[in-house]
Amino acid sequence: MHISRRRFERLVADALDALPDELLAHADNVVVVVEDEPTPEQVGGAGAGGEGGPGTLFGLYEGVALTDRGLDPPVLPDRITLFRRPLADACADEDELFEEIRVTLVHELAHHFGIDDDRLDELGWA
């Protein structure tokens, strides 16, 4: 489906607002950004495939998980990037896209909290 960057960013903001406050209260020094597509380096560093299947990357967490941080917090914020085109291409309508954005945000926030893909798979969020 086609969606403008502006509308996509609005859906991302709405999805963030829809996440439980208890979840977001524990996020520390992390920003959410939107890019149209992942770079080759982002795809290569994300492992085999992404949330949308092999060769697809919907989102990416870049940073130091809370479980791996020392006493001094990092200077730069961790970064969760959502990729507009792969997400939109995988969805038939805005309702489906909103839900996929929400699931991707939870998945990437889980990485921020130190939860790996194997555990996410066990929980049904991979």
Domain CATH code at residue 98: 3.30.2010.20
Whether the Cβ atoms of residue 58 and residue 50 lie closer than 8 Å to each other:
yes
CA distance to 6, 82, 91, 94, per residue, from 109 (Å): 23, 12, 21, 22
**71 within some domain:** no
**84 within some domain:** yes
Question: pLDDT tens, 95-120?
Answer: 999 999 999 999 999 999 988 888 88
**110 within some domain:** yes
| Non-local CB neighbours of 36 within 8 Å, separated by 6+ positions | 5, 83, 84, 85
**Domain span at 31:** 5-66+76-123
Question: pLDDT tens, 30-81?
Answer: 999 999 999 988 888 765 344 444 458 999 999 888 888 777 766 788 999 9
* pTM confidence score: 0.85
pLDDT value, residue 3: 97
pLDDT at position 7 over 90: yes
**81 within some domain:** yes
| Non-local CB neighbours of 68 within 8 Å, separated by 6+ positions | 114
Neighbours of 49 (CB within 10 A): 14
Number of domains forming the structure of the chain: 1
Amino acid at residue number 4: S
